[in-house]
């Protein structure tokens, strides 16, 4: 782990029992049926990009690791389960001595991700691999959702800083804290959430509320009081009364006083009204007053579409504060990750993995069988991502030789790659329960995310009707899936 203060947050709260109850009933049942130590392999993946987008952003891995590192059942947990009177004493004894011993692989945080590819793979005793489902899904679903939304908003801002302002509208304290963390990974410049700065080093930013202005006899006195306390970090909220008649003129007065005293005024914030019109008028007023260095910040229920429209309309905005529509991903507040069995041993051969497939009348819900690994193929000349390929775990894509990719739905659509680079997306996180992965600093994750997004074509990243990025199956995996489908449909 990287030693951030945030590493201890989950440990301080023992969240081992944050599970769906059926994880416990199944675990007890596995043990009672002699399947507790049978090896099982599960994949965590998602089926659809939120907001009908073309890509998503992986986030939440560090908190998932922290959870797995601190799995333990307390005496109170055991007593609670005993009082349910449905769990065997053998199972309760097992929980009392619980030690996590699974292997885990995962796609690093900040990686652009696409539907149906394994983001996290867990292999180990069925009891344990099944039990961790809820928290793995919770952490990855939530933070990947917010990181994906933040990435869209940052792209709409077109290089202008975006600040996450949504703590007060988040779904609970964890929603605020980890939402701000995820937004930072995806490119937000900072957050209004102070605890996220303390725990994760996400820069905390903020100015004033309307109440500050209202508590003083006049707006001008309110601005002067703030400037006196923060002369070198003075951004003034100018829409408490009237942006153009009083707010901007009073801000100009105070900014000139600051400059005369040797300080550099920072900016104004507009939080209501016709922001495009007001920002253009405010920019003219500031420039005419000899204050071209003063920035204009816009807030007020913004999202990627509103930001894009503001800029198309010529709004003179230097940065954005985005709250509820970011931290809750209000337009589509569910990521939809799932956790499915991909392979398992048997009572007769506990460690011999047999591929498993889930069938459905809904074709989108038919799973890919077997112990697998996702790969990303990059064009050798441009460095841009061509496609992702899901292979069986023991396959290696050798980028020194031609490689054939094909659409599993239309197998006649084959393409032979020659000049390309292949990268296995997952890295090992746990080896038999021992964490072997060091989480990078959050700033490094943010830089990595930006660099990886640059390898994805803009056509995939556009908001409306994005180009479908291909996630293909290797030929051996496709044949395995086809054999299982034929077998079960024949039965």
User: Rounded to the nearest 5°, which phi and psi values hold at 47?
Assistant: -105, -25
Residues 6+ apart with CB under 8 A from 339: 42, 43, 44, 133, 136, 137
d(CA 366, CA 361): 8
What tokens does 466 get? 């994005």
What pLDDT score was predicted for residue 144? 98
Q: Are residues 46 and 93 in the same domain?
A: yes
Nearest-CA neighbor of 267 among 275, 276, 258, 308? 258
In a domain, 175, yes or no: no
- CA dist., res. 146 & res. 58, Å (int): 10
Residue-wise burial string across 19-37, b where 16 or more C-beta atoms lie within 10 A, e elsewhere: beeebbebbbbbbeeebbb
Distance between CA atoms of residues 252 and 44, nearest Å: 54
Domain-embedded: residue 194: no
In whole angstroms, give the CA distance from residue 229 to residue 491: 77
Q: In this structure, are strands 372-379 and 420-424 parallel, antiparallel, or unpaired?
A: antiparallel
Q: How far apart are the first and last CA of the chain?
A: 49
Whole domain around residue 222: which residue ranges?
A: 206-300
Q: 400 and 341, same structural domain? A: yes
Say if residue 253 is in the same domain as residue 357. no
Both tokens assigned to 458? 């803009």
Q: How many Å apart are CA 116 and CA 43, to the nearest integer?
A: 10
Q: 125 and 43 in one domain?
A: yes
CATH number at residue 256: 3.20.20.70
Determine the 3-state secondary structure of 66 from DSSP.
Answer: helix
Cβ proximity of 232 and 255 under 8 Å: no
The confidence score (pLDDT) of residue 411 equals 54
Q: Give the integer Cα–Cα distance in Å for 386 and 41.
A: 28
**CA dist., res. 270 & res. 315, Å (int):** 12
The verdict on residue 188 lying in a domain is no
Question: Which among 389, 399, 378, 387 is positioned nearest to 467, based on CA atoms?
Answer: 387
Residue 437 belongs to a domain with what CATH number?
3.20.140.10
- The separation between CA 164 and the C-alpha centre of its own chain, rounded to angstroms, equals 14
Query: How many domains is the chain partitioned into structurally?
Result: 2
Cα Dmax for the chain: 86
Phi and psi based region of residue 432 (left: phi greater than 0; alpha: psi -120 to 50; beta: remaining): left
Asked if residue 78 lies in contact with residue 92, where contact means CB atoms within 8 angstroms, the answer is: yes
Crossing angle between the packed helical segments 172-185 and 442-453, to the nearest 10 degrees: 60
Please check whether residue 57 is in contact with residue 170, taking contact to mean a CB–CB distance below 8 angstroms: no
* In a domain? residue 119: yes
Instruction: Decide which of 300, 324, 344 is a domain's last residue.
Output: 300
User: Within this chain, do residues 340 and 478 fall inside the same structural domain, yes or no?
Assistant: yes
| pLDDT reported for residue 409 | 62
Whether 406 is in a domain gets the answer yes
* pLDDT at 407 (0 to 100): 66
Are residue 345 and residue 241 in the same domain, yes or no?
A: no
What is the model's pLDDT at position 489?
A: 79
Same domain, 139 and 211: no
Q: Assign 184 to helix, strand or coil.
A: helix
Q: Are residues 430 and 352 in the same domain?
A: yes
* Strand bridging mode 372-379 / 103-106: unpaired
pLDDT at 451: 98
In the listed set 300, 322, 345, which residue is the last one of a domain according to the structure? 300
Closest CA to 193 of 326, 333, 1: 326
Among residues 452, 390, 380, 458, the alpha carbon closest in space to that of 417 is found at 380
- Residues 292-322: b if buried by 16+ CB within 10 A, e if exposed: eebbbbbbbebbbbbbbebbeeebbbebbbb
Q: DSSP code of 215?
A: T
The position carrying tokens 């009237």 is: 242
For residue 204, which phi and psi values (nearest 5 degrees)?
-85, 130
Provide Rg for the chain, Cα atoms.
Answer: 26
Specify whether 372 is located in the same domain as 428.
yes
Give the integer Cα–Cα distance in Å for 46 and 465.
19
In a shared domain, residues 129 and 254? no
Give the total residue count for the chain: 491
Q: Please choose, from the candidates 60, 58, 104, 64, the residue with its C-alpha nearest in 3D space to the C-alpha of residue 428.
A: 104
Domain assignment of residue 455, yes or no: yes
Residue 190 in any domain: the answer is no
Contact 331, 292 (CB under 8 A): no
pTM above 0.85, yes or no: yes
- Token pair, residue 429, equals 């996180």
Q: What stretches in the chain show pLDDT beneath 70?
A: 1-11, 407-413, 491
Q: Which two tokens stand for residue 158?
A: 């077109």
99 belongs to a structural domain: yes
Domain boundary pick from 249, 276, 300: 300
Compute the distance between CA of residue 38 and CA of residue 349 in angstroms, rounded to an integer. Answer: 8
CA dist 254 and 228 (Å) reads 10
User: Residues 278, 395: one domain?
Assistant: no
- Together in a domain, 247 and 386: no
């Amino acid at each position: 782990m990287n030693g951030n203060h945030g590493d201890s947050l989950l440990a301080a709260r023992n969240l081992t029992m944050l599970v769906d109850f059926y994880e416990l009933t199944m675990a007890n049942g596995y043990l009672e049926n002699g399947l507790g130590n049978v090896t099982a392999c599960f994949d965590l993946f998602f089926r659809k990009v939120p907001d009908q987008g073309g890509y998503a952003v992986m986030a939440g891995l560090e908190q998932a690791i922290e959870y797995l590192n601190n799995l333990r059942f307390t005496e109170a947990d055991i007593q609670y389960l005993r009082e349910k009177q449905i769990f065997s004493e053998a199972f309760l004894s097992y929980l009392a001595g619980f030690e996590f011993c699974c292997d885990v692989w995962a796609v690093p945080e900040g990686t652009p991700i696409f539907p149906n590819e394994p983001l996290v793979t867990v292999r180990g005793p069925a009891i344990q691999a099944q039990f961790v489902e809820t928290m793995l899904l919770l952490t990855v679903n939530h933070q990947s959702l917010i990181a994906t939304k933040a990435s869209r908003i940052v792209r709409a801002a077109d290089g202008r800083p975006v600040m996450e302002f949504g703590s007060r509208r988040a779904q609970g304290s964890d929603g605020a804290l980890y939402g701000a963390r995820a937004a930072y990974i995806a490119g937000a410049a900072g957050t209004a959430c102070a605890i996220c700065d303390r725990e994760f080093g996400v820069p905390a930013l903020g100015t004033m509320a309307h109440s500050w202005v209202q508590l003083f006899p006049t707006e001008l006195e309110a601005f002067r009081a703030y400037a006196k306390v923060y002369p070198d970090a003075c951004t003034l909220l100018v829409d408490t009364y009237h942006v153009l008649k009083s707010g901007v003129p009073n801000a100009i007065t105070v900014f000139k006083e600051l400059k005369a005293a040797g300080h550099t005024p920072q900016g104004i914030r507009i939080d209501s009204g016709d922001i495009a019109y007001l920002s253009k008028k405010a920019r003219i007023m500031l420039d005419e007053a000899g204050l071209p260095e003063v920035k204009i910040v816009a807030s007020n229920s913004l999202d990627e579409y509103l930001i894009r429209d503001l800029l198309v309309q010529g709004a003179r905005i230097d940065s954005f504060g985005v709250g509820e529509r970011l931290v809750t991903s209000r337009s589509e507040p569910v990521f939809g990750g799932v956790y499915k069995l991909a392979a398992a041993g048997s009572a007769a051969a506990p460690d011999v993995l047999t591929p498993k497939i889930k069938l459905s009348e809904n074709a989108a819900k038919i799973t890919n069988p077997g112990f697998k690994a996702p790969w990303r193929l990059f064009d050798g000349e441009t460095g841009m991502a061509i496609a992702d390929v899901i292979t069986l775990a023991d396959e290696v894509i050798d980028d020194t030789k031609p490689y054939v990719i094909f659409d599993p739905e239309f197998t006649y659509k084959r393409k032979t790659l020659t000049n390309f680079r292949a990268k296995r997306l997952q890295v090992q996180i746990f080896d038999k329960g021992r964490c072997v992965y060091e989480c990078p600093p959050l700033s490094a994750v943010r830089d990595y995310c930006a660099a990886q997004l640059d390898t994805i074509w803009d056509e995939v990243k556009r908001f409306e009707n994005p180009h479908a990025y291909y996630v293909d199956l290797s030929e051996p995996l496709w044949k395995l899936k086809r054999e299982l489908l034929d077998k079960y449909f024949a039965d």
